[in-house]
């Protein structure tokens, strides 16, 4: 009997405490309290320069000694039937899938997502059409390498974040690339015609320092 009385008492106490806290709780500053001011919580146009830098660095990973060697030796040379690795136990006709995936994963996981962020912010923003056009050119530069090695690839859905992406044939990818290049050329031509010194991304563009005319060429 005493146990039932004690347990009932504690239940009532807990209910009272819960009611008191609910009455005095405040959510007016919930977002402010739960926003980490030391970290980037959203991406805006002020991040465009950093995004293009990130894509250029990640997209150039095949130019590094190690990855260029891997992509050439383990992809192209494999298709020719022979490869040579310093380790004598691997000097044979074999397909090293972990190396094979390096370039593909590097492009789609690291180089393309920053470009997609740029597209999302600039495609329909008239003030940033040069940034949009340059990002299109860089996307073509990156993915033409991928399709030349792997054939069918996701191009339209690249960087979309979709759980399932559509693979397009190499022929279709090339026509899509030509379309993007024509679009970029049209935008940049109009810009250079009115301002030959136009700049996009500034020093964030690690290839041409943002010089629009160089991207057009």
Please state, in angstroms and as integers, the Cα–Cα distance from residue 171 to each residue in 51, 92, 144, 167, following that order: 29, 33, 11, 12
Which sequence spans correspond to the domains of the chain?
46-216
Please state, in angstroms and as integers, the Cα–Cα distance from residue 200 to each residue in 117, 159, 216, following that order: 16, 22, 12
Q: Which 3 state secondary structure label does DSSP give 211?
A: strand
> pLDDT digits over 59-76, tens only?
887 777 677 777 766 666
Fold for 46-216, please state it: 1.25.40
> pLDDT digits over 32-55, tens only?
777 776 665 567 778 899 999 999
Band the pLDDT of 7: cuts 50, 70, 90.
Answer: low
The structure tokens listed for 179 are 């379309």
Length of the chain: 217
The structure tokens listed for 188 are 């940049």
**Alpha-carbon torsion (155, 156, 162, 163), positive or negative:** negative
Give the Cα separation of 195 and 210 in Å (integer).
13
Is there a contact between 51 and 118 (Cβ–Cβ < 8 Å)? yes
pLDDT at 10: 64
Question: How many Cβ atoms are within 10 Å of 80's Cβ, its own excluded?
Answer: 7
pLDDT at 213 over 90: yes
Instruction: Say what the alpha-carbon torsion angle 121, 126, 128, 129 is, to the nearest 10 degrees.
Output: 100
Can you give the pTM of this predicted structure? 0.74
Give the Cα separation of 76 and 100 in Å (integer).
10
Band the pLDDT of 6: cuts 50, 70, 90.
Answer: low
């Amino acid at each position: 009997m005493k146990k039932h009385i004690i347990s009932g008492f504690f239940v009532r106490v807990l209910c009272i405490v819960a009611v008191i806290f609910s009455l005095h709780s405040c959510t007016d500053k919930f977002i402010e309290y739960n926003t980490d001011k030391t970290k980037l919580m959203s991406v805006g146009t002020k991040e465009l320069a950093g995004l293009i830098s990130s894509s250029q660095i990640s997209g150039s990973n095949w130019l590094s000694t190690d990855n260029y060697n891997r992509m050439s030796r383990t992809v192209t040379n494999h298709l020719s039937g022979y490869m040579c690795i310093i380790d004598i136990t691997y000097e044979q006709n074999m397909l090293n899938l972990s190396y094979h995936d390096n370039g593909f994963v590097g492009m789609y996981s690291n180089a393309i997502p920053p470009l997609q962020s740029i597209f999302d912010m600039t495609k329909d923003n008239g003030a940033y059409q040069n940034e949009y056009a340059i990002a299109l050119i860089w996307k073509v530069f990156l993915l033409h390498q991928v399709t030349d090695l792997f054939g069918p690839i996701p191009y339209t859905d690249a960087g979309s974040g979709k759980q399932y992406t559509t693979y397009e044939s190499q022929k279709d990818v090339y026509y899509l690339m030509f379309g993007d290049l024509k679009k970029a050329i049209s935008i940049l031509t109009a810009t250079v015609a009115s301002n030959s010194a136009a700049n996009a991304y500034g020093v964030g563009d690690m290839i041409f320092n943002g010089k629009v005319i160089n991207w057009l060429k």
